[in-house]
Amino acid sequence: MGSSKRPNGRSQPSSLRWIVIAVVSFLPAAWGSRYAATRDGDSAAVLVGRVTEVTDGDTIHVALASGPIIVRLHSIDTPERTQPWGRQATAALARRLRQGTEVTLQPITQDEYDRLVAVVYLNDENLNAWMVQQGHAWAYRQYLDDARYCAWEQQARASGRGVWSLPSSERIAPWEYRQAEREQTEIVMGSTVETETACVAAMNDRGPVTNTAAQPSTPAGPCRIKGNINDKGDRIYHVPGSDSYERTGVSTSRGERWFCTEEEARKAGWRAPRG
């Protein structure tokens, strides 16, 4: 697992990489003197530390006995601070994790920014899950490995909690928002299918781009143009009835999407097939 979140422009301690490598590679030998009940009651090695800062809704700074570390919350993605509900998500996590609060961390991996990716527990409560349940975070399809996050997101959406209280035009998945910023393309409203079924399908879809299990070949409504990304990274849209349409899949975990019109697809950076 990795993360596409930006590192917030902060320089990280030179020792941080080695702390993370030690945590991920050598647990429990190096750190495993303390255990806690984690997912489904299993016992797993955890780290214990105190929160020094909440950077945003899914990133915190923690002081371990071995030194400071940056932690990216596993399985969730909160709105960027420049997005609607970004500040509210950060504030919600900060209220739970005030400076000096003791937390336990269930390490998962190290991301590309040298952060420890982990499940964060406050006493016995999974705060990653809590953020999704309260509507402050999305289940992060691309790195998800627990379908319960999809169910929790659906429950928050049905109840209109947090980000789900906003108009649909303002509910842009954070990964789509970042992609549009990077590529300087227009954000296509509603391009993420907001259903539990689509969330689980995206989580399970780890196959080639032609795997149609990610979403149904004929979605509900008029938006039936498939925005596919091939192995070279080319963004190509396929209209119903075209040669490649039936064998082309749409995987939202890869950044692929459905479009309602060809104009909409072109504005978002997709092109028609050549030849």
**Do 193 and 86 sit in the same domain of this protein?**
no
Residues that are catalytic: 72, 80, 115
Mark whether 147 and 35 lie in a shared domain: yes
The verdict on 258 and 236 lying in the same domain is yes
Shared domain for 109 and 240, answered yes or no, is no
The CATH number of residue 67's host domain is 2.40.50.90
Is residue 68, in this structure, part of any structural domain at all? yes
Q: Which domain holds residue 260?
A: 169-267
Checking if the pLDDT of 41 tops 70, the result is no
Are 126 and 252 members of one domain? no
**Is 45 a domain residue?**
yes
Q: What is the pLDDT of residues 120-168, one digit of tens each?
A: 999 999 999 999 999 999 999 888 889 999 999 999 999 999 999 999 8
- Statement to judge: residues 108 and 190 lie in one domain: no
Give the tokens for residue 13.
């301690």
pTM: 0.64
Residue 8 lies in a domain: no
pLDDT per residue as tens digits for the range 3-35: 444 444 444 444 445 554 454 444 433 333 333
Residue 80 has a pLDDT of: 95
What pLDDT, on the 0 to 100 scale, is given for residue 46?
A: 87
**Greater confidence, 51 or 176?**
51
> 94: burial class by Cβ within 10 Å (0-12, 13-18, 19+)?
middle
Whether 47 and 100 map to the same domain: the answer is yes
- Confirm whether 151 is domain-assigned: yes
Residue at which a domain ends, from 166, 181, 207: 166
Whether 252 shows a pLDDT value over 90: the answer reads no
In a domain, 7, yes or no: no
Same domain membership, residue 131 and residue 66? yes
Domain count within the chain? 2
Q: Assess whether 235 and 148 both reside in one domain.
A: no
Q: What proportion of the chain, given as a percentage, has pLDDT over 90?
A: 42
How far is the CA of 77 from the CAs of 45, 71, 89, 244, 271, in angstroms? 24, 13, 10, 33, 29
Looking at the fold, whether 108 and 193 belong to one and the same domain comes out as no
Share the mean pLDDT of the chain. 78
Q: Are residues 130 and 181 in the same domain?
A: no
Residue 10 placed within a domain: no
Pure H helices in 63-195:
86-96, 127-133, 148-159, 174-183
Residue percentage of the chain with pLDDT more than 70:
73
